[in-house]
Structure 1
Amino acid sequence: MRRKIVLLHTNDLHSHLDQAPYIHSIIEQQKKEHPDDLVLVIDCGDHMDRMRLETEATDGIVNVALMNAAGYDYAVPGNNEGLTFTMDQLKAAAQKANYRILGANMRRQDDENPDWLHGYDVVEDQGVRIGLLGVTIDFNDFYRLLGWELEEPRGTVKKWFTSLQERRPCDMMIVISHLGIVHDRLLAEEEPGIDVILGAHTHHLLMHGEQVGKTLLAATGKFGDYVGKVTLTYDIDRREIVNREALCIPVIGSGYQPHPVSSHILQHYLHESKGRMKEQVSELKEELDIHWGKESVLGNLLASGLQNWTKADIGLVNSGQILHNLPAGGISREMILEICPSPINPCLMQLRGKDIREALEQSLQLQYQQKPIRGFGFRGEMLGNLSISGMRVYVDTQAPEGERIQQLAVVNDNGQELSWDDDAWYRVGTIDMFSFGIGYMSIQSGTVEQFFVPEFIRDVLVRQLNQASELEKARQRRWWDQTLSG
C-alpha cells in the first residue's frame, strides 16, 4: 500500500501581497487535485516585510489573515519577522494564526518560551508518521537586543532529530529551514536521515529540487513568484519513501486567477491601513530634497540624526536610503514609509580615520553612487553617495579618482574644525547594513559598539523633521569642492 504526501511551500514573500490571491488559488487547486492525499501547506519565513504599507500599518496581521485564508498549516519565522517586530507584536500576530509556528532554535532569554512558538510537530496519517521541524538563522547580535536567544540551528536540528527518533521514530522527517542554501546543503550532509529540507533566506530557486545524498532540497526563490510542490510517495509495507518529486509552479502566467477571498482581505486591509498611515508626524515649511550623487538636505538630516541617536562624533549614511523628496506641508506616516522603506537599524561603530577616508573617496565615484544593492534590509534602488555629519570634506573634483579628497576635519558642536587623523579611531553613528560589508566596504573594517533595535532609520528621520534646529543644520554644507568659487 502506498500513500502520497504533498508539501506545498512558499518562502521569502517579503510582503509582495499582490501575489497572495494567486497563491491562494494555486493551493486550493492543488488540494482539489489531491483529495485522497495528505496535503500540508508551509511557509519558510520572511512572509512579512515592513516596507509594505499594509504590513507596517497592521504589524503583520494582514500577512497572517492571508495565510489563514489560503489554509497554511505551518510557518517558520524568518529574520524579517523575528528582527523587525517586537515580541509583543509577534505575539499579537501569532495569536491570530490558524497555523502552527515552528522555531526549534528560538527561545526567550528568560527561558519562558511563548505558547505560540513550537519546536516541532508530528503528523500521523494512515499509518505514516511525519515529523516537521523548523529552524531559523541565528543573528544573535540583533536577536539578543529583542530578548531572544537563538541556538546554533544545525546543531539544534541534530539534537531534536535524535530526540524524536529515540522516543518514537518518524517515518519521514521534514525540516523547514530559514537558513539559506549553504546551511541546507551542509545540514543534508550532516544528517542524512532528513528526507526533505524546504529552504529560504538566500532567495534560491530550485525548480525541480536538488538532491544532496538522501535528502531532497526545495525552494521557490523570492517574492511569491512560485509555489513549491514536493510529492513524496511512501510505501507503507516497506516503510520507506519510494519516490520524491519537486517542482515550482509559476504564480503568474499559469492561468490562475486571484482568489476572491484573499483579494477581498487585501482590499480590506489596504483601506484600513491607508487610514492608519494618514497620521501626521510632521509639518514642513518647504520641500526637502534628496540626491544620490551629491549633498542634499534630507541626506544631511538623516546623517545628523544617526549621529545624535547614537551619541557619536560623526554621522555616516548612504543617501540611497531615502527614495525621493519630501514636499512642504503635512507629512504622514505613509509618506515617511514611501521615502524610507528599509527596515534598517541605527548602529554605533568605531572606525579608523583611513577607513572613513576610503569610503568618502569612493562616495565621489559614479560606480558607487549608482551601485545596485539587494538584501540586508535595503529596499532602495542604488547605494547613493555618503551623507555626513560632524565633519567637513574638502575635495578637488578634477583630481583622479581616489585622490580627490584634499582635507578632512571633524566639526564639534560649536562648529569648530578639529584636525583629522587617519590613524585615529572615531565613534560613528551609521547603519547596520554597513557592518555586514554591504556598499562601502571599508566601513566593515570597524568595530560595532551597539545596534539600536527595534528603531528603524525612518524613526530617526521623523525625530529630525520635528526639530527646527536640525532642519537648519541640515542646510549647512558638509562637502566643499575647492575647484568651485564660494
Structure 2
Amino acid sequence: MESIQLRHTNDLHSHLESWPRVSRYLQGQTTAQTTYKFDIGDAIDRFHPLTDATMGQANVKLMNQIGYDAVTIGNNEGLGLSHEDLNHLYDHANYPVLLANLTELPGNNQPAWAQPSHIFETEAGTKVGVIGLTAPYELTYRSVGWNPHDVETTLDRLLPRLRDQADFVVLLSHLGLPTDRELADKYDLDVIIGAHTHHVLPQGELKNGTLLAAAGRYGDHVGQIDLVLDDNHQIVTKSAQAIPLTDLPIEPGDEDKIQAFQDRGIQLENEHKIVHFDQVQTIADQGRACLQALKEKSGLDVAFCSAGLFLQDLPVGENTAEDFLASMPHSIHPMVATLTGNELKDLVAELKAKEASLLNQRVKGSGFRGKVFGQVLLSGLTYDDQGQLLYAGQVVQADKQYKLATLDHYRWVDFFHVLDDSPAEIDLNLLLRELLAKYYQEQALTAGK
C-alpha cells in the first residue's frame, strides 16, 4: 500500500496576513510517503502594495520558498496583469504552471511560461497526472491578447491521453464549484481541487466517484487530501479536509513578518512618484476627476461612476503610487458601453430610482475593494424642461445607439442589468487608479507644474 497527500491553497488574493501560518502548514511534516503541494490560482491581488509594486513577482518569490509542485492561474493573474506582466510573472518560479485552456494570440501558441499538464512519479512508481484549467472569460481574455478555450473541449482532447499515461488524474480547477460538479459527472477524474468561487468543502465532496476539494479564500483554510493506493497504483481510499486557519497556531515573529510584507510594499510604492498637489483632493474631487478622465480617455461627452470607489483623500504634497493604491485599491478598468436610447433611458431611470439606497449599499467582489457603492456620479446626462433625457444636450432617440464612458465594475455587479450584456470595450491594461494618475499628471503638465 502507498500513501500520497496533496496539500493545496487557492484564492489567497495576496492576503499575506495568512501567509506565515499557511506556509508553515505547507512545509510541515507528513506521515504520507509522498506529498505534493498545489496552488489553484488567484494567489496574487494588486490590492496589496507588495504585489502591486512588484506585479506579483514578490508572491512568486514567497511561493518558491514553499516548494510548490505545481500551480494554475486565476483571473487575478490572467486579467489583473497586463499581457506583458503576465508573460514575466513566472520568470523566476521554481515550479511548473499548468494551464491547458489558454493560448497566446495572435498565433494561438501555448504560453512559454505554462504547460497543459504534468505527470509526477512517486518513489513507488505511481504516476500522477495533473491538469490545470482556468475560467475562460472569452471577451476579456481576448482583449488582452489571450485566447481562452472551452473547458470540455480541452478535457476531451487531453484527458484520454493523460489517463493512458497516468495511474490517476488530478484537475487543478480555477473554474468554480458548479463547473467542478458538472465535470465530475461527465469525466473520469479522480480528484478535482477547486477555486474561483471561494467555496469551502470541509470534508470534501464525493460526486460520481470524483473527490472534490476546496479551501475557501484569503488563506482562511488550507486543504489536505489523503490517498491510499494498492500495489497496482490504484486508489482504494480518498478523503479531503479543509483546515481552518484558526486551527493553525500563531508563532512568535508572525506579526513581524506580516508587517514586513506591508512595509516593503509601501516602501516600493512610495518610490513611484506620481503627482504633487497644492490642495487636498477629496473623495468628491476624485469622483469629479474620474468622470473627466473617463470622458477624455474615451473621447465621449458622457460618463458614469460612483463615489464609493474612492476610499480616502489624496493629500497635499507629493503623491505616490501608495497614495493612489490606498484610495483606489480595486481591480477595476475603464469601459465604454454601447446602449440604445431606450436602454440608456432605462439605465438612468434605474440609477435615479436606486440612488438613495445605493448610497450605503454594501458591495463585495467583482474587483471592488471598498465598502459601499456610494453616490451616483453622472456627467453629460440631464433632463430638459419636458422631462426628456438629454445626451450631451441632445434629446435621446429610442433606437439610436449611444456610448457611455464608465467602468467594468458596473458590468459585473448585480445592479444594472442593462449593462450586463451590452456591447462593451474594456481596457484591461489600465486600472482605475492608473487612469486617475495619468489624468492628474496631464493636468499638472497643462498647468505648468
TM-score (norm 2): 0.91
Q: CA deviation at 1:33?
A: 2.6
Deviations along 1:372-400, whole A, 9 cap, x unmatched? Answer: 222211111111222122234689xxxxx
1:443 aligns with 2:419: yes
Deviations along 1:402-446, whole A, 9 cap, x unmatched? Answer: xxx9564333xxxxx333446543210111122235333333353
| 3-state DSSP of counterpart to 1:203 | coil
Residue 480 (structure 1) aligns with: none
CA distance in 2, matches of 1:259, 1:135: 36
1:388 aligns with 2:378: yes
1:97 aligns with 2:93: yes
Mark the CA change 1:458 to 1:272 in structure 2 (over 3 Å): closer, same or farther. Answer: closer
Q: 2:120 aligns with which of 118, 123, 138?
A: 123
Kept after mapping to 2: 8 A contact 1:347/1:430: yes
Kept after mapping to 1: 8 A contact 2:49/2:265: no
Q: 1:378 aligns with which of 353, 364, 368?
A: 368
Q: 1:218 aligns with which of 213, 237, 240?
A: 213
1:365 aligns with 2:363: no
Residue type of the partner of 1:430?
T
Flag the structure with higher strand content: 1
CA distance in 1, matches of 2:446, 2:436: 11
CA distance in 2, matches of 1:393, 1:98: 60
1:65 aligns with 2:40: no
CA distance in 2, matches of 1:264, 1:469: 38
Residue 410 (structure 1) aligns with: 391
Q: 2:238 aligns with which of 244, 248, 252?
A: 244
Kept after mapping to 1: 8 A contact 2:222/2:245: yes
Q: 1:198 aligns with which of 182, 193, 199?
A: 193
| 3-state DSSP of counterpart to 2:347 | helix
Deviations along 1:318-350, whole A, 9 cap, x unmatched? Answer: 221111222222211100011111111111111
Residue type of the partner of 1:246?
A
1:350 aligns with 2:362: no
1:234 aligns with 2:229: yes
| 3-state DSSP of counterpart to 2:203 | strand
| 3-state DSSP of counterpart to 2:323 | helix
Kept after mapping to 2: 8 A contact 1:370/1:382: yes
Q: CA deviation at 1:356?
A: 2.7
Mark the CA change 1:269 to 1:301 in structure 2 (over 3 Å): closer, same or farther. Answer: closer
Residue 414 (structure 1) aligns with: none
Higher mean C-alpha deviation, range 458-467 or range 69-78: 458-467
Kept after mapping to 2: 8 A contact 1:305/1:315: no
Mark the CA change 1:470 to 1:203 in structure 2 (over 3 Å): closer, same or farther. Answer: farther
Mark the CA change 1:281 to 1:165 in structure 2 (over 3 Å): closer, same or farther. Answer: same
Residue type of the partner of 2:244?
P
Residue type of the partner of 1:372?
R
Deviations along 1:222-271, whole A, 9 cap, x unmatched? Answer: 0001110000111124x4211111111122343243787x9759726842
Q: CA deviation at 1:312?
A: 2.5
1:281 aligns with 2:243: no
Mark the CA change 1:392 to 1:297 in structure 2 (over 3 Å): closer, same or farther. Answer: farther
Residue 26 (structure 2) aligns with: 27
- How many pairs are equivalent? 442
| 3-state DSSP of counterpart to 1:208 | coil
CA distance in 2, matches of 1:40, 1:257: 25
Mark the CA change 1:258 to 1:28 in structure 2 (over 3 Å): closer, same or farther. Answer: farther
Residue type of the partner of 2:118?
D
Q: Where does 1:299-378 land on structure 2 (aligned, <5 Å)?
A: 299-351=287-339, 352-366=343-357, 368-378=358-368
Superposed CA RMSD in Å reads 2.6
Kept after mapping to 2: 8 A contact 1:465/1:471: no
Gaps of 5+ in 2: none
Mark the CA change 1:445 to 1:100 in structure 2 (over 3 Å): closer, same or farther. Answer: closer
Residue type of the partner of 1:128?
T
Q: CA deviation at 1:90?
A: 2.3
Q: CA deviation at 1:55?
A: 0.2
Mark the CA change 1:211 to 1:268 in structure 2 (over 3 Å): closer, same or farther. Answer: closer
Gaps of 5+ in 1: 291-295, 396-404, 412-416, 473-486
Q: Where does 1:150-169 land on structure 2 (aligned, <5 Å)?
A: 150-166=148-164, 168=165
TM-score (norm 1): 0.85
Kept after mapping to 1: 8 A contact 2:16/2:261: no
Kept after mapping to 2: 8 A contact 1:41/1:73: yes
Kept after mapping to 2: 8 A contact 1:65/1:265: no
CA distance in 1, matches of 2:161, 2:99: 16
Deviations along 1:3-50, whole A, 9 cap, x unmatched? Answer: 111010010011001211111111122xx132x511011000000001
Kept after mapping to 2: 8 A contact 1:353/1:421: no
Mark the CA change 1:466 to 1:429 in structure 2 (over 3 Å): closer, same or farther. Answer: same
Mark the CA change 1:207 to 1:272 in structure 2 (over 3 Å): closer, same or farther. Answer: closer
| 3-state DSSP of counterpart to 1:118 | coil
CA distance in 1, matches of 2:421, 2:346: 7
CA distance in 2, matches of 1:92, 1:451: 23
CA distance in 2, matches of 1:376, 1:282: 29
CA distance in 2, matches of 1:77, 1:66: 16
Residue 297 (structure 1) aligns with: 285
Residue 436 (structure 2) aligns with: 461
Mark the CA change 1:282 to 1:249 in structure 2 (over 3 Å): closer, same or farther. Answer: same
CA distance in 2, matches of 1:323, 1:394: 34
CA distance in 2, matches of 1:98, 1:310: 42
Residue 11 (structure 1) aligns with: 10
Mark the CA change 1:194 to 1:258 in structure 2 (over 3 Å): closer, same or farther. Answer: farther
| 3-state DSSP of counterpart to 2:409 | helix
